[in-house]
Structure 1
Amino acid sequence: MASTLTCPNCGHCKEETMPTDACQYFYACENCKQVLKPKPGDCCVYCSYGTVKCPPIQAGSKTCC
Structure 2
Amino acid sequence: MSKEVQLQSVLTCPVCRHQKEETMPTDACQYFYECENCKTNLKPLTGDCCVFCSYGTVKCPPIQQGTSCCGS
Q: Say which of 23, 26, 33 aligns to 1:17.
A: 23
Describe the superposition over 1:34-62 as per-residue Cα deviations: whole angstroms up to 9, x where unpaired.
00000000000000000000000000013
TM-score normalised over the length of structure 1: 0.96
Match in the other structure for 1:28: 34
TM alignment of 1:1-65, pairs within 5 A = 1-62=7-68, 64-65=69-70
The unaligned stretches of length 5 or more in structure 2 are: 1-6
What is the number of equivalent residue pairs in this alignment?
64
Look up the equivalent residue of 1:40 and give its one-letter code: T
Q: Provide the C-alpha distance between the structure 2 equivalents of 1:41 and 1:32, rounded to a whole number of angstroms.
A: 25
Runs of 4+ off more than 6 Å: none
Q: TM-score, normalised by structure 2?
A: 0.87
Quote the sequence identity (%): 77
Tell which structure's C-alpha radius of gyration is larger.
Answer: 2
